[in-house]
Every structure is written in structure tokens, then in C-alpha cells.
Structure 1
Amino acid sequence: MKDQLSQEEREELEIDLLLQAVYRVSGFDFNQYMRSSIKRRIDNRIRLDRVRTVSGMIEKVLYDKGFVEKLISDFSINVTEMFRDPDFFKSFRTKVIPLLRELPEIRIWHAGCSTGEEAFSMAILLEEEGLYDRSKIYATDMNERVLEQAGKGILPLNRMQSYTKNYLQSGGSQAFSEYYTTDYQFAYLNPSLLKNITFFQHNLVTDGSFNEFHVIMCRNVMIYFNSELQESVNQLFYDSLSKGGFLGVGNKETLRTMDYSEKYSEFDCREKIYKKL
């Protein structure tokens, strides 16, 4: 008979059982997310809900209506902003856009879109480059709550000054305020910017390809996945990209250490834009 589990082993087992309970109750599988990230979010939820142990959270998943939705929201990555990392969008505008001009139709997938700021940024960029009327943006996330928010095109007014700075640094040449109206609390994007964006639920862990794209954006998402899941998602993106299509990843992410590095050229090494060979 094995000696009693250590504290660390007991905590790992509790987390395994919690993630299994979440999966059985909701269908969302977080087992291949980085364990350090999951543990931080669990610890935060324990503090917020004053639960004594991870095992106590399992009980709440099984018996407390609404608690599993809290955890799914906790585990989802919802950090975003308009024209985040402006140099990335500047590179896209100056280097990728000239090649997209040759296409009769442009299909772009923003995977892990959260509340939509990156998709809105792309819509503005394409509008300024005269390509938006022949573009379709598919913006997906696993979290239905953030997708519902994204579809409204409403942003906190107190973020617009920061977004304006990003926009100008990314090569924007218009008055950013022309793209939205305001009241005392919110900014409302012009309906014309939303017309070619489709928001819908898609889970990178479990769902497959749904179209062929000329551009796929998945920035600062895969850092939360373990290496096995990263490989699986990269296969999904490779299968979903057209020949010569572009993949944009986050500044802390790379394809160099993966099997797919030989299937792309480093179109812009600094800004992590890859071109499918």
C-alpha cells in the first residue's frame, strides 16, 4: 500500500478531479491548459468565493447552479485591447496588406477573440486600406459571455484614450474618434465596422476547421496551452490556411520549436507573422 500522498500530490489530484468535473458538467476541457495558469485562477476563485479547498470547489461545480460558468470564465483568456502591440498592426498594414490586395475576397479568422477589440482593429485597418467591402472577419471564442459583449460593439469610454494612442502608433491616419460615438460611459462603434464581422463560439481544444482563410490571428492565446495542445492547434491553423496565407501569433509565441516551423516562412520575424509555404 502506497504511503500517504504529499501535499503537492494531493493538490495536483484535486485539480485533476476539478477539471474532470468541469468537463463532465460543461463539456469544456481545460486539461491541456498550462497548469500554472489554471492553478492561479483556481486560487483566485477560492479567495473570491471563500471556498476552503479545491475539493470544495468540485462540490460547487456539481451542485451549485452557475458556479461552473464562473470557472469557465476564470479559465478563459479575456485580456485584449484595440491595436494591441501597435508595431504588429503597422507591419500588417505595410507588409501583408499589399499582398491581400490581389485577392477578390479576403477571409480572416481571429481565434480567441475575447470581447472583439482585435477584430474591430482589423476592420478599421481594412476600411482605411479600401479592402473592407471585400473582406469577411470570423471572430471566435469559447466563451459565450464575451462573444455576446463583442457583438454589441460597445467599449468602455475610459479605454478610448489608450486605444487612440495604439491606433496612431500602428499607422492609423484618420481621427480615431470618427469610428465611434459616445455617451458619458461608453463608446459605440459605427455599425459599418461591424457589418462584415461574424462572432460565434468555437473551441480550439475540441472543434475543427470551418473554412479556408487567407489570414489567421491567434495572438497571446497559445501561451496558456501545454505543448501537446499547441501542436494540435497549430495543425488546425495549418489545415485552415490557404496556400500563401498568413498566421499572426503573440510576441511571446513562436513556431520555431514546433513541427510546423518548416511549413512556414518567417514573413516578419520580429512581429511574429508567418507565411504558409
Structure 2
Amino acid sequence: MNTPFENQSSYIESRTSSELEKIEIELLLQGLYKWCGYDFRSYAYNSIRRRILHRVEAEKLSSVTGLLEKILHDSACLRRLIGDFSINVTEMFRDPLFFLDFREKVVPLLRTYPSIRIWHAGCSTGEEVYSMAILLLEEGLYEKTKIYATDIDAEALKVAKSGRYPIENMKKYTKNYLQSGGHNAFSDYYTVKDSRVKFHSQLSKNIVFAQHNLVTDQSFNEFHVILCRNVLIYFNKELQKRVHKLFYESLAMFGILGLGDKETIYYTDKQDFYEEISPKQKLYKKVK
């Protein structure tokens, strides 16, 4: 007859490596949250796993547990891991038809307001924030607008605040701008120095860049527009529900919510509180 210890040992040996890896990842995410308040525990598992394993390999470590030990004692490694978790895929006038629909369907509503507050949640390195500033400037609305651009990634926010981007991106950005209904020459909005461009300071004067964690932080104002595009796809269902609640409570009545092309308000508990104003471009108006 096997002893309890032998039975336990047999059970442990039968556990698969994937089960062990999942336990390690859960411990790492819990340690990250306890140590510095970054909460990635409700992010989509497969997405967060890929980023963790990438960092394990990049740091030349043998296990996820080794990565946990390193981030607890090495602040530079911690910053690198946070950078891996932040989804910094963006461009000027990304999805141009979204900005075209915003011009045609949202701008007329914004014209009726004496002042406008816009929240770019998950603004990354800021390209879409400057895109919105250009659009509002061309529509004569920028002077009465305040744009709050937030992200969890401090390094991405530094890039956003600088307004400096590689010159090789401008060809694509110019094409996007024209397809979005741009009125001028795109090059009017920046100057070139060496291999980078610097967007004019008139575009950033009404932008407030700040660190904000959608997972743990609360609302900080009431907004007429909230844009959070291609961020929610990286959250699990429970976290998506929590963030939709945050956005709903942060929007003024008849405020506009803009999501990414793979995201929707449907199948959430807030779908009945919005009216669809652009089905293809995922623009919704709060009506309840």
C-alpha cells in the first residue's frame, strides 16, 4: 500500500508542464500586482503568456519563476516586462474611415457644446491623439477642446509627449490623413529634423498626457467622447465588463464611445444604453 507521501509524489509527477507553467504565470502576475500595483491578472491568458515567455527568453532565463525573481530585484527588467505587456501598435489616422466617420457623424454633435472633453484611453505613443487634434483643428473645434491622453506605459507616454516620430512613417500617415478627409497638406503639421519629425506645439497645447491603469484606476472626469481602440481585445470578459462600466459612468449623456474594429458594445451588459451611430467604425452614442 502506498503511503500518503508516495501518493502525493505520484500526483505531482503526473502534472503536465503546461499546468506548471500556468501556475508560474499566475504567481508572476500576482507578484507583479503585489509589488508595484500593475494588475495584468485579467488580461487574455494566451496574449499575456506570449509576452511573458518572450521576456523569459530575452533575459536568458530558464523559467517564468526566474523572471519573477528578477523583476522583484531588478527595476530595469521590471520596466522591460511592463513594456512588453503594453500594446503599442498604433499610427496616425489609424483606420482612416473611422476618422472620416468621426468628422461626418460626431463633429456636428460636438459643435453644439460650449466646451469639449475627450479621453483617449490607452493612447500608446500618441499618434492617434495628434490625429484627433489635427481633425479638431481643421473643424474649428480645437480651441474649445481638452484631450486627456492616458496609458499605463510611462515610456510610451514619453514618446507621446515629445511628439517626435520617424520620418519614414510619414508616407503612410499622409495617405491615412487624406483618406480620413484631411483638408490640408499633412506636412503643414510638422517640421523635419534629421530622421524624425516633430509635430507643432499648437497641436499639443490642449492635450494632457497622464499615466492611468484601466484595470485599477477610476474615472477622473466626465467626457463627451471616449476613445479606446484595440485595447479591450487583450482583456478577458470580466475585465472588459469592468472597463465598459468605467466608460459608461465617465460619459456624459449623448457622449460618444469609439472602439476598435474588432471590438463592440454588443454582448456586454451596457449594449442597451447606447445607440449605434456608425456600425462599421464602432462609434456609439450613450442614450440612457
TM-score over 0.5 for the pair: yes
Among residues 45, 52, 55, which one is paired with 2:65 in the alignment? 55
Correspondence for 1:217? 227
Correspondence for 1:174? 184
Moved more, 2-11 or 129-138: 2-11
**Alignment map for 1:33-44 (pairs within 5 Å):** 33-44=43-54
Correspondence for 1:23? 33
Query: Deviations 1:144-202 (Å, cap 9, x if unpaired)?
Result: 11112211111111111110010001110200000000012110001101100000011
Correspondence for 1:226? 236
Correspondence for 2:77? 67
Tell me the CA shift for residue 138 of structure 1.
0.4
Runs of 4+ in 1 over 3 A off after TM superposition: none
Tell me the CA shift for residue 250 of structure 1.
0.2
Contact 1:26 1:68 in 2 (8 A): no
Note if 1:103 corresponds to 2:148: no
- Aligned partners of 2:74 and 2:228: how far apart in 1? 34
Correspondence for 1:242? 252
- Aligned partners of 1:34 and 1:23: how far apart in 2? 16
Among residues 256, 264, 269, which one is paired with 1:254 in the alignment? 264
Tell me the CA shift for residue 232 of structure 1.
0.3
Moved more, 221-230 or 18-27: 18-27
- Aligned partners of 2:235 and 2:39: how far apart in 1? 12
Query: Deviations 1:87-135 (Å, cap 9, x if unpaired)?
Result: 0000000111011101100110000001111110000000000000001
Task: Give the RMSD, CA atoms, in angstroms.
Answer: 0.9
Q: How many residue pairs end up in the alignment? A: 277
Correspondence for 1:165? 175
Moved more, 7-16 or 46-55: 46-55
SS at match of 2:90: coil
Correspondence for 2:283? 273
Query: Deviations 1:38-95 (Å, cap 9, x if unpaired)?
Result: 0111121122221111111111122223211111111111111110000000000011
Correspondence for 1:153? 163
| Structure 1 residues 65 and 210: alpha-carbon distance in aligned structure 2, compared to 1, 3 A threshold | closer
TM-score normalized with structure 2 length = 0.94
Correspondence for 2:4? none
Aligned-residue sequence identity (percent) comes to 55
Unmatched runs of 5 consecutive residues or more in structure 1: none
- Aligned partners of 2:206 and 2:68: how far apart in 1? 41
Opposite residue 22 of structure 1, the aligned amino acid is: L
**Alignment map for 1:119-138 (pairs within 5 Å):** 119-138=129-148
SS at match of 2:270: helix
Rg: which structure is higher?
A: 2
TM-score normalized with structure 1 length = 0.98
- Aligned partners of 1:47 and 1:179: how far apart in 2? 41
SS at match of 1:259: coil
